[in-house]
Structure 1
Amino acid sequence: MVENRAAPRCVLDLKAVLGEGPVWLPRDGTVWFVDIPQARIHRFEPGSGAHRTWNAPDRVAFLLPLEDGAFLCGMPDGLRRFDPVTGLFSPPHTVEADLPGNRLNDGTVDALGRIWFGSMDDAEQEASGGIYGIAARDGTLRVTRYDQGYVVSNGPAVSPDGRTLYACDSSRQTIYAFDIADDGRLVEKRLFARLEQGYPDGITADSEGGLWCCVFGGGRAMRFAPDGSVTDVVPFPCTYVTKLALGGEDGRTAYVTTARRDLTPEQAAREPTAGGVFTFRVTVPGQVQRSFSMQAGHGLPTGDRPLAG
Structure 2
Amino acid sequence: MTVRDFTLAPGDFGRFGTGLARPECVWIADDGIWASDARGGVTCLSNTGEGTLLGSGVGTPNGFSRRADGTFLVAGLADGAVYEIRPDGTVSVLLDNIDGVPIGAANYPCVDGDRVWISVMTTSTPWDEALRGPAKGQIILLDHRGARVVADGVHLTNEVKVSPRGDYLYAAESLQRRILRFPIEADGSLGEREVFGPSDLGEGAFPDGFSFDVDGNIWVTIICRNGLYVITADGELHIVYEDVNKPALAALLEAIAEDKANAELMGGCAATGPLVLPTSIAFGGPDGRTAYVGSLATDFLTTFRSPTAGRLR
User: Could you say whether these structures have the same fold, taking a TM-score greater than 0.5 normalized by the shorter chain as the test?
Assistant: yes
Partner SS state of residue 60, structure 2: coil
Task: Please tell me whether residue 154 in structure 1 is matched to residue 155 in structure 2.
Answer: no
Partner SS state of residue 251, structure 1: coil
Structure-1 residue corresponding to 2:96:
94
Structure-2 residue corresponding to 1:108:
110
Structure-2 residue corresponding to 1:62:
63
TM-score, normalised via structure 2 length: 0.75
Structure-1 residue corresponding to 2:283:
246
Q: Distance in 1 between matches of 2:205 and 2:101?
A: 28
TM-score, normalised via structure 1 length: 0.76
Partner SS state of residue 102, structure 1: coil
Q: Distance in 2 between matches of 1:217 and 1:207?
A: 27
More strand by share: 1
Q: Which moved more, 1:279-288 or 1:230-239?
A: 230-239
- Residues 113 and 100 of structure 1: CA distance in aligned 2, closer, same or farther (over 3 Å): closer
Which amino acid is 2:34 matched to?
W
Q: Distance in 2 between matches of 1:82 and 1:145?
A: 24
More helix by share: 2
Q: Distance in 2 between matches of 1:248 and 1:84?
A: 23
Question: How far off its partner does 1:15 sit?
Answer: 6.1
Q: In structure 1, which of residues 268, 274, 279 is the aligned counterpart of residue 303 of structure 2?
A: 279
Question: How far off its partner does 1:189 sit?
Answer: 1.0
Q: Distance in 1 between matches of 2:235 and 2:308?
A: 16
- Residues 285 and 227 of structure 1: CA distance in aligned 2, closer, same or farther (over 3 Å): same
Which amino acid is 1:34 matched to?
S
Partner SS state of residue 53, structure 1: strand
Structure-1 residue corresponding to 2:263:
none
Q: Distance in 2 between matches of 1:168 and 1:24?
A: 20
Question: How far off its partner does 1:152 sit?
Answer: 1.9
- Residues 142 and 101 of structure 1: CA distance in aligned 2, closer, same or farther (over 3 Å): closer
Q: In structure 2, which of residues 86, 89, 109 is the aligned counterpart of residue 83 of structure 1?
A: 86
Structure-1 residue corresponding to 2:140:
132
Partner SS state of residue 105, structure 2: strand
8 Å CA contact 1:171, 1:199 repeated in 2: yes
1:227-264: per-residue Cα shift (whole Å, max 9, x none)?
2212461346234111011122222221111122xxxx
Partner SS state of residue 233, structure 1: strand
Give the paired residue count.
265
8 Å CA contact 1:44, 1:50 repeated in 2: yes
Which amino acid is 1:70 matched to?
T
- Residues 142 and 248 of structure 1: CA distance in aligned 2, closer, same or farther (over 3 Å): farther
Structure-2 residue corresponding to 1:257:
294
8 Å CA contact 1:79, 1:95 repeated in 2: no
Structure-1 residue corresponding to 2:257:
none
Identity among equivalent positions (%) equals 26
Structure-1 residue corresponding to 2:188:
184
Structure-2 residue corresponding to 1:299:
none
1:97-143: per-residue Cα shift (whole Å, max 9, x none)?
66548221023335x6643220123222352220123334xxxx733
Q: Distance in 2 between matches of 1:178 and 1:81?
A: 26
Q: Distance in 1 between matches of 2:61 and 2:33?
A: 16
Which amino acid is 2:201 matched to?
L
Structure-1 residue corresponding to 2:274:
237
Q: Which moved more, 1:76-85 or 1:195-204?
A: 76-85
Q: Distance in 2 between matches of 1:172 and 1:50?
A: 38
Structure-2 residue corresponding to 1:207:
214
Q: Distance in 1 between matches of 2:139 and 2:179?
A: 13
Partner SS state of residue 187, structure 1: coil
RMSD: 2.6
1:276-302: per-residue Cα shift (whole Å, max 9, x none)?
20111223322242xxxxxxxxxxxxx
Which amino acid is 2:68 matched to?
E
Question: How far off its partner does 1:150 sit?
Answer: 2.8
Q: Distance in 1 between matches of 2:213 and 2:29?
A: 15
Unaligned runs of 5+ in 2: 243-272
Question: How far off its partner does 1:169 sit?
Answer: 1.6
8 Å CA contact 2:80, 2:104 repeated in 1: no
Structure-1 residue corresponding to 2:50:
50
Q: Distance in 1 between matches of 2:106 and 2:274?
A: 28
Question: How far off its partner does 1:74 sit?
Answer: 2.2
Q: Distance in 2 between matches of 1:176 and 1:255?
A: 23
1:71-100: per-residue Cα shift (whole Å, max 9, x none)?
122223433221242x22124433356654
8 Å CA contact 1:203, 1:244 repeated in 2: yes
